[in-house]
Amino acid sequence: MNLAPTALTVCLAALAGGAQAQAVIAPFTETFETSSANFLGNDFSPLEHLTTGGVDGSTFVRAVVPTDTAAGMGLVVARAETDPHNPANNASGGALFGDYIESGITALSFDVRHDAGTDIGFNVRFSPPNRFPGAFAIASQTVASGTEFTTVTLDLSSLATVAFEGPSTPDNFETVFGNVGNVQIFLTTDLAAAGTSPVNFDFDNVSIGTVPEPTSLALLATGGLLLTRRRRARA
């Protein structure tokens, strides 16, 4: 038999083993339409939810980061996490979590802008609900300070594109990406170089899916330019 997973089979799997990962998740984009969707900041307090001025004028979330509390690299600026004690607290209602391998999820992307006054690099740590081990996917691009959002895409498709806490083995890949329960956006740039404090980091459209084809990327870039022009035309 080769049955597609249904809500029933997912429920049965959940009943069969409490520790078992959610079987299948779908491509998903968190647009922060009505709330901060339980996304948290460095100190685990909810990110600020702003109702206008995001991508294409939409809603978005903001992490306000004082530079004096951000000594060195490796600062978490935004967290999407599961709460093992109360699933109602799961970021995005849990839509970002589960078995990325089984579901064919090979990329996470987000739109970000900041006002640090210097280029900022990001990486994203993925971990199971119990938080360890973690795997870091490192963005190849940095994001300039400014008023426009930039899309940062992390490739999660293989051992070659992520760095593990512990040995880089197929077992570790399965442990993390077969049961993702926490997604943490880190800085790879020391905020001590920032020209302003606090620094606002604005996030929108946190997405899981597949790595875009180069042609899709070009189309997306064109679409982004058109949207930018339309926004300017309206302003």
Among 70, 107, 204, 208, contact with Ca ion (rule: CB under 5 A): 204
Helices and strands (DSSP H and E) totals, the chain: 4, 11
Measured CA to CA in angstroms, residue 23 lies from 8, 94, 122 at distances of 11, 13, 29
39 lies in the binding site for Ca ion (CB under 5 A): no
Half-sphere exposure at residue 64, Cβ-oriented, CA atoms within 13 angstroms: 7
**Total number of residues that touch Ca ion (CB under 5 A):** 6
Which residues make Cβ contacts (< 8 Å) with residue 199, sequence separation at least 6? 64, 65, 67, 114, 115, 116, 191
Q: Are 24 and 7 a contacting pair, CB within 8 Å?
A: no
Burial degree of 170 (CB within 10 A; 0-12, 13-18, 19+) = exposed
- Nearer to Ca ion by Cβ, of 74 and 93: the residue is 93
Burial degree of 34 (CB within 10 A; 0-12, 13-18, 19+) = exposed
- Nearer to Ca ion by Cβ, of 2 and 147: the residue is 147
92 lies in the binding site for Ca ion (CB under 5 A): no
Q: Are 14 and 23 a contacting pair, CB within 8 Å?
A: no
Among 54, 94, 128, 134, contact with Ca ion (rule: CB under 5 A): 54
How many angstroms separate the CA atoms of 124 and 188, rounded?
10
Q: How far is the CB of 208 from Ca ion (least distance, A)?
A: 16
109 lies in the binding site for Ca ion (CB under 5 A): no
58 lies in the binding site for Ca ion (CB under 5 A): yes
The window from 4-12, 118-126, 141-149, 201-209 that contacts Ca ion (CB under 5 A) reads 201-209
Q: How far is the CB of 29 from Ca ion (least distance, A)?
A: 9
How many angstroms separate the CA atoms of 91 and 68, rounded?
28
First CA to last CA across the chain, in angstroms? 57
Q: How far is the CB of 108 from Ca ion (least distance, A)?
A: 16
Q: Are 9 and 23 a contacting pair, CB within 8 Å?
A: yes
The window from 2-10, 56-64, 115-123, 182-190 that contacts Ca ion (CB under 5 A) reads 56-64
- Nearer to Ca ion by Cβ, of 186 and 203: the residue is 203
Among 31, 161, 188, 197, contact with Ca ion (rule: CB under 5 A): 31
59 lies in the binding site for Ca ion (CB under 5 A): yes
Q: How far is the CB of 49 from Ca ion (least distance, A)?
A: 10
- Nearer to Ca ion by Cβ, of 32 and 126: the residue is 32
- Nearer to Ca ion by Cβ, of 21 and 55: the residue is 55
Q: List interacting residues with Ca ion (CB under 5 A).
A: 31-32, 54, 58-59, 204
